[in-house]
Structure 1
Amino acid sequence: MVWRRTLFAKRFATVVCTMPSLRLPPSLAAERQRGVGAGVWRWLAGALLCAVLTGCASLPSAVDRPVSSALANPAETRLGAAVAARAQQAGTRNDSGFALVGDAELAFSSRMALIQAAQKTLDLQYYAIFADETTERMFDALRDAAARGVRIRLLLDDFNTSGKNAQVLRLAFEPNIALRLFNPLPGGRGSMVGRVLSNLKDTARMQRRMHNKMLVADNAVAITGGRNLGETYFGQGQDSNFVDLDVLAAGRVVRELSHSFDLYWNNPLAYPVESLMTAKEIDALKPPPVQDAVMAPAALPATGTPPETTDLRLLTWTWAPSALLVDKPSKIAGDADATEAAQDTTVDGLLQLMAQARRSLLIVSPYFVPGERMLKAFADLRRRDVQIRVLTNSLASNDAPAAHVGYARYRRALLGLGIELYEMRAEQRGTFRSFGASALGSGNAGSRASLHSKLVVMDDALLVVGSMNLDLRSQLQNSEVAIAIRNRAISAEATRLVEPTLARDAYRVELRDQQLWWRAPPGAVFPDASAEPDASLGLRFITTLIAPFAPDEML
């Protein structure tokens, strides 16, 4: 009986703890934040039935993976020549330039600008691409680029390529576009939860995901950071939107990003879509068309449409010393546990940088589960009187309740060290302004917000922006990428983007008589709270229920 209870707990924990990666469909996201409704349970029941009906499946053994590499001479392209000219104009010896992208519209139009400007190559590496109107505009631009002779390589983690999102895979059958899936899961793609349940026999591999995010044009200019591709990352979601931060990069660091992309693209874990599915199989997953207009759902209010492109030359570019922090593909390999000791991870590198702080650390991490090692590092810093401020999600704004469970375990210990904890509210006043994201648009004024930015500012002089969260999942399970930039001006710019959220739209968590207390900022229109603010009773009950089954390393 003990063995059976242990096995059940392990299986249950695996399903629960994929929730930092496994988000509810957009149609149910708002319902989750209001409480667990019948719609959620119907969705889960359907996914379970799908998993039961899915037979045993395996990945193909003989796969043709033609080796390719990044553009050798980016200086021969317009983008490459523009980068060289900009560096010469700046009169700097630094070989890499950067521009921060906090605005949701700018995040979209910058990517479109790179796609439209590319002459030779486009390399895209993402954890998730969601099929919606926003990404379809981007896909049209990719098709246009391919039609004019640009070689396009798209590398996508396989976890989210199910249901409606499987339609993204149709790009693999377009001329001049190659699409590979990293660490694919065998079995059907009808439901994401169904895929999880049908792969419980291989939970260790399923937990390891390629979380890297980058778009590289002509090996000359790139954009990387926290954003996946989808409407909620570009301010176009009806119910909720993510607050995020990217960085545009030019010069030498881009060539390092491309080298990292090549390592993943040519890795045995990268499977061409054609080896896993046919175009007919993908078409079969299309949702049925609505036949009767009377039965169609009511039209949603119109939202602002992001601009098609932007002139990247008008941005403020900063040339500065930098270093790329990036995990090797072997971190996700089947024998990763045997190789981890031989390599420092992106999060390890970030912790080493943070340990050198002398005065201050500003940490922004949507999923913040420090673990004992990170907690000890924070204690060492506090003994040296280093000020540490952390901005993370509240339970209500967190799209991954299991991750919040892990964070909540360390909340009292963090406060006991004198660390300042801020939790962002899900409900924002008017148009959402945080992180320069006024461009979420008036049509989305009522949407909820969820923090998704990943950045660290150290001593007002070093900025790290990337795909990593400060949690054990990013440190031990997922592959990540980040850029460290040593420059006071760009560090100050990042801080200016964060400060309004701390001052207006976040609770400061405190201990009062050994009880947690959520203090609203001065002049706020929302009150203090003595329990998880804005979270429904049902949501609080669910997090309490899953807490015993959620080990830190899986969050």
Structure 2
Amino acid sequence: MRLIRILLTVAVVITIAVVGLKLAFPLPEKNYSEQTLKQDPDWDGPLGATIKQAIERNPGLDGVRPLGNGRAAFAARAIFARQATSSIDAQYYIWQDDVTGLMLLDELRAAAERGVRVRLLVDDNGISGLDGLLAELDALPNAHVRIFNPFTLRNPKLLSYAFDFRRLNRRMHNKSMTVDGVATIVGGRNIGDIYFDYGAGTHYLDVDTIAIGPIVDEVSQSFDAYWNSSSSYDAALFLEPTAEKSLQSKADAARKTAVGAGYQKAIQDNELADRIAARDLTVEWSEVTLFVDDPAKGLGQADSENLIVEQLIAFANDSQTSLDLVSAYFIPGKRGAEVLEGLARSGVKVRVLTNSLDATDVMPVHAAYMRYREDLLNSGVELLELRALRQEHRERSLPEMLAGSASGLHAKVFGSDGKRVFIGSYNLDPRSARLNTEMGLMIESPAIAASLAEKLANTDFSYRVELSEDDEIIWLQEEQDGTVTVFTADPETSGFQRALTAVVRWLPVEWML
């Protein structure tokens, strides 16, 4: 009886504490001071003038220019910010307080100070350490910062989960940057050194694409919907303003580091600015469709039939000959597994590339994925797991970016029938399907689809997962000289790692991964 009383007392104390915190740190009654909308495209600026000529030569089509590597992706954002003359609208899940994060945030400051209207929407889960700098940016007359699903308790921030978990467990995972209403960058990259592939240490393999044409207006309308949604709040409601102006000085210090100098060189060496100046921007012309979740998903209020997961399932089911999936975090779930297994049994060549246990940065996700491997393999689905290759390769083409040498996979790219490719933020997991908001572009491009298929056919960078004659999972490492090494346990992992993963595999947490 005494133990029961103690437990009841603890439960009451915890309940009172949670209720007290919720009352002490409520959401503001009003999200933002006013609604704002996208500006008309600026066709008179250097970027607009270049793009207008190209669009007039290809009426009704969209132009795409995949970003071949991390440095190119960073340089494209910096160059676009410098070319902007009227507006920049950017939304990101993570914006890190590091070299590239500071440099790109300072590019937004510089644009705002020369008269460009800057709107920056960031998810509050991914801006650790940036409160002061974001407040400084927001204080500029031409810059406006909003926060998606904010933590009302700023320090310690994560304690907010204790009293507002249902709302805070839903995040904005979208990534886009639209300049002057004439060009956009959409894909899987967040803002931070680890996403832009330069310098020593771990990096993510990811993919973005520049897009121009009618699709840009659709991305801009989507941004407006998120910017003015019920989940977006003016940063000034949560971030304390500071009299100290440190953004530019911190960015200058970042530029002077060895890593920063490398990124500066990436900007200087990139041909994008020269092509804009010469009005000769090279793109591939095709039909592009925007896949994007309703921002109401951030509050659990979106119509389930209109979620991006339904569009992607239809995309997969339309496959007649092949379906190639690259997903850093792969948990197909019961429904997704049924779709993939059904396609494979019907004769569609289904291939999936995800991280190996050694390469993943989220072990619980890999543990959940393990539950589906055997049935997927039995149905005929080909499984590839990225090797955590330690050697850096600086120059990489688009196919290599899709699945090349890197420490960990972060890309979300899906190809169908060698004709269509989806590039975006969507991971094939329950969190992307039901909790986080997502976006991406479906591109009718045989060239990009062929690049993806070609690279997946090359096993230099991955393990091929198969079933042995005894129906045990094995990993095959195939070398260029034809040598094949067979592993009977997750390669390059310790017994402790595998044991811990096995335990996590049975925990009932898949719904939130």
2:252 matched to which residue of 1? Answer: none
1:26 matched to which residue of 2? Answer: none
1:472 aligns with 2:414: no
1:223 and 1:114 map into 2 onto residues whose CA distance is 10
Most deviating of 314-323 and 369-378: 314-323
1:518 matched to which residue of 2? Answer: 475
Code of the residue aligned with 2:98 in structure 1: it is D
1:149 and 1:537 map into 2 onto residues whose CA distance is 58
- The superposition leaves residues 406-426 of structure 1 with CA deviations (integer Å, 9 ceiling, x where unpaired) of 111111111111111000011
Distance verdict in 2 for CA 1:283–1:448, change over 3 Å: farther
1:461 matched to which residue of 2? Answer: 419
1:131 matched to which residue of 2? Answer: 97
Q: Residues 357 and 459 of structure 1 are in contact (CA less than 8 Å); yes or no, is this contact kept in structure 2?
A: yes
2:139 matched to which residue of 1? Answer: 173
Code of the residue aligned with 2:347 in structure 1: it is D
Q: Residues 121 and 217 of structure 1 are in contact (CA less than 8 Å); yes or no, is this contact kept in structure 2?
A: yes
- Picking from 45, 49, 53, the partner of 1:77 is 45
Distance verdict in 2 for CA 1:149–1:116, change over 3 Å: same
Percent identity reads 33
1:63 and 1:422 map into 2 onto residues whose CA distance is 45
Q: Residues 123 and 148 of structure 2 are in contact (CA less than 8 Å); yes or no, is this contact kept in structure 1?
A: yes
Code of the residue aligned with 1:261 in structure 2: it is F
**Once superposed, which parts of structure 1, at least 4 consecutive aligned residues long, lie more than 6 Å away?**
281-284, 299-303
Code of the residue aligned with 2:303 in structure 1: it is E
Q: CA deviation at 1:545?
A: 3.1
Code of the residue aligned with 1:274 in structure 2: it is A
Distance verdict in 2 for CA 1:430–1:478, change over 3 Å: closer
Please provide the CA RMSD for this pair: 3.1
2:266 matched to which residue of 1? Answer: 307
- Picking from 175, 180, 185, the partner of 1:218 is 180
Distance verdict in 2 for CA 1:232–1:276, change over 3 Å: same
Equivalenced residue count is 475
1:145 matched to which residue of 2? Answer: 111
Q: CA deviation at 1:280?
A: 4.1
Q: CA deviation at 1:130?
A: 0.4
- The superposition leaves residues 443-475 of structure 1 with CA deviations (integer Å, 9 ceiling, x where unpaired) of xx9x96110110111000011111101111111
Q: CA deviation at 1:400?
A: 0.9
2:12 matched to which residue of 1? Answer: none
Matches within 5 A, 1:524-539: 527-539=485-497
What's the TM-score once normalised by structure 2's chain length?
Answer: 0.85
Code of the residue aligned with 2:50 in structure 1: it is A
Q: Name stretches of at least 5 consecutive residues in structure 2 with no aligned partner.
A: 8-20, 247-256
Code of the residue aligned with 1:215 in structure 2: it is M
Distance verdict in 2 for CA 1:71–1:300, change over 3 Å: closer
1:182 matched to which residue of 2? Answer: 148
Q: CA deviation at 1:368?
A: 0.5
Q: Greater RCO between the two (CA within 8 Å, min separation 6)? A: 1
- The superposition leaves residues 124-144 of structure 1 with CA deviations (integer Å, 9 ceiling, x where unpaired) of 000010011112221222222
Q: Residues 55 and 187 of structure 1 are in contact (CA less than 8 Å); yes or no, is this contact kept in structure 2?
A: no
Q: Secondary structure at 2:125's aligned position in 1?
A: coil
2:397 and 2:169 map into 1 onto residues whose CA distance is 31
Distance verdict in 2 for CA 1:236–1:358, change over 3 Å: same
Q: Secondary structure at 1:125's aligned position in 2?
A: strand
1:340 matched to which residue of 2? Answer: 303
- Picking from 507, 511, 526, the partner of 2:463 is 507
1:98 aligns with 2:54: no
- Picking from 15, 26, 30, the partner of 1:58 is 26
What's the TM-score once normalised by structure 1's chain length?
Answer: 0.79
Q: CA deviation at 1:382?
A: 1.8
1:85 and 1:307 map into 2 onto residues whose CA distance is 27
Q: Name stretches of at least 5 consecutive residues in structure 1 with no aligned partner.
A: 8-52, 285-298, 440-444
Q: Residues 171 and 177 of structure 1 are in contact (CA less than 8 Å); yes or no, is this contact kept in structure 2?
A: yes
Distance verdict in 2 for CA 1:328–1:253, change over 3 Å: same
Distance verdict in 2 for CA 1:279–1:415, change over 3 Å: same
Q: Residues 131 and 168 of structure 1 are in contact (CA less than 8 Å); yes or no, is this contact kept in structure 2?
A: no
Q: CA deviation at 1:201?
A: 3.3
